[in-house]
Amino acid sequence: MPLVLKIVGAVAVAFIGVSLYFLSTGNALLFHTVPEGHLGVYRRFGAILPTTTGPGLHFKNPLTTTADFIQITLQTDTVTNIPCGTSGGVTIYFDKIEVVNKLDRQHVLQTVTDYGIDYDKIWIFDKIHHEINQFCSSHTLHEVYIDMFDQLDESLAKALQDSCDKWDTGIEIIAIRVTKPKIPSNILKEFESVEAGKARLRVLEQEQLATRKAAETEAMRERIYAEKEAVIAQIEAQKSANVSRINQDQVTSETRAEADRKKMVSQIKEEQLTLEKRGQAERERIDNELYKEKRQMENDLAFDKQKKEIELQQVQLTDRFLRLREIEEMARALGSTTKVYFGDSIPDMMMQLFPSGSVTSTQELSQAA
């Protein structure tokens, strides 16, 4: 019985201890809120779970799981009191270097798994210390404090970004702000005296520069005035030459135009004469052709007329026509005589006058008379 009580007591003490631990770490609740601009990363018995949660209310087992919130918006990490030893053996301190950076959302789980919740200590804080010491060890105090100080922020940003990209951390370096380092007071006084001397030297240089600029300005003004006068004289000479050339060109153009006009008139007259000759020749050719056509037509008409007459004569040369012509001739002969014959022998006499076969009958003879 006492052993059982001891066991129960031990369990109760363990439970109370675990409860107090979770209450002290803020992971005792069943629910939790991931703030805006963060992702929730969870560990179960120390092992990181492969899932993340976005902003809002989420639940977890407080006995087995703890939650960490990783910022994924712009954040500024401030690295303070950074010692730096120059190549000359002087130790100086940078009071503050601010690094503006951002962790990519897609790299949160892998970066936390590889480098822990405080990943920025490795890649921002420790890296700044390393790069500052690298820079100072290879440069003198004067270079670090004055000559190359304006390049330090760009050099640090490039070095940090190259390292983050090489190891694929997902960290983007946005900007770096570096404060002026602290140097020993005795060296600072020397720098101040040197700077004061440089300031006086710069004043003298500026005065000399102003005097030289004034002299150069006056010389430039005189040179500009001389060049202006020379340009004006050149313009006047060019203007006179242009006027003379224009007048000469005008006279030449008028002479050339007159010659061209006369040549054109001559060409026009020659062309006109040529056209008249061609027209006269054309008219003569047309007249000759008309005359030839007229003569040909007259010849054709005469030929056709003669041909028709011959054809008509050939048509008329029949036996009946020939007998008719004989009768007309006999009638004409009888009509021209003054003698009148009477008696029965008249037919015989007619037969003697006209051979046999010329007159076929007395009836025809009567008709012919």
Confidence at residue 99, expressed as pLDDT on a 0 to 100 scale: 96
Kind of pairing between the strands at 75-85 and 47-53: unpaired
| 132 close to 84: Cβ distance less than 8 angstroms | yes
Tell me the HSE value of 110 on the side-chain side, using a 13 A CA sphere. Answer: 10
Confidence at residue 284, expressed as pLDDT on a 0 to 100 scale: 86
Most confident listed range (74-78, 196-200, 310-314, 353-357): 74-78
How far apart (Å, rounded) are the C-alpha atoms in residues 31 and 60? 6
**Count of H helices and E strands in the chain?**
10, 8
Strands of the sheet containing 91-103, edge to edge, are 75-85, 91-103, 171-178
Range in 55-69, 187-201, 246-260 the model is least confident about: 187-201
The rounded mean pLDDT for the chain is 82
Length of the chain: 369
How far apart (Å, rounded) are the C-alpha atoms in residues 224 and 277? 75
How far apart (Å, rounded) are the C-alpha atoms in residues 14 and 63? 12
pTM recorded for the entire structure: 0.48
Dihedrals phi, psi of 258, to nearest 5 degrees: -65, -45
pLDDT tens profile 293-348: 888 888 888 888 888 888 777 766 677 777 777 787 777 776 666 565 555 655 56
In the block, residue with structure tokens 């030929």: 303
For residue 39, the surrounding DSSP H or E stretch is strand 38-44
Kind of pairing between the strands at 38-44 and 65-71: antiparallel
Structure tokens at 14: 């363990």
Range in 5-19, 147-161, 167-181, 312-326 the model is least confident about: 5-19
| 334 close to 369: Cβ distance less than 8 angstroms | yes
Name the pLDDT band for 24 (thresholds 50, 70, 90).
Answer: very low
The percentage of residues in the chain with a pLDDT greater than 70, rounded to a whole number, is 81
Name the pLDDT band for 359 (thresholds 50, 70, 90).
Answer: very low
In the block, residue with structure tokens 């048509």: 315
How far apart (Å, rounded) are the C-alpha atoms in residues 154 and 133? 16
Task: For residue 100, give the 3-state DSSP assignment.
Answer: strand
Taking the alpha carbons of 313, 319, 324, 325 in that order, is the dihedral positive or negative? positive
DSSP state of 182: B
Kind of pairing between the strands at 171-178 and 91-103: antiparallel
Alpha carbon 363 to its chain centroid, in Å, reads: 124
Burial 42-57 (b: 16+ CB within 10 A, else e): bbeeeebeeebbeeee
| 179 close to 94: Cβ distance less than 8 angstroms | yes
103 has which bridge partners? 171
Asked if the model's pLDDT at residue 248 lies above 90, the reply is: no
Structure-derived torsion over alpha carbons of residues 297, 299, 305, 311, reported in degrees to the nearest 10: -120
For residue 218, the surrounding DSSP H or E stretch is helix 185-316
Asked if the model's pLDDT at residue 73 lies above 70, the reply is: yes
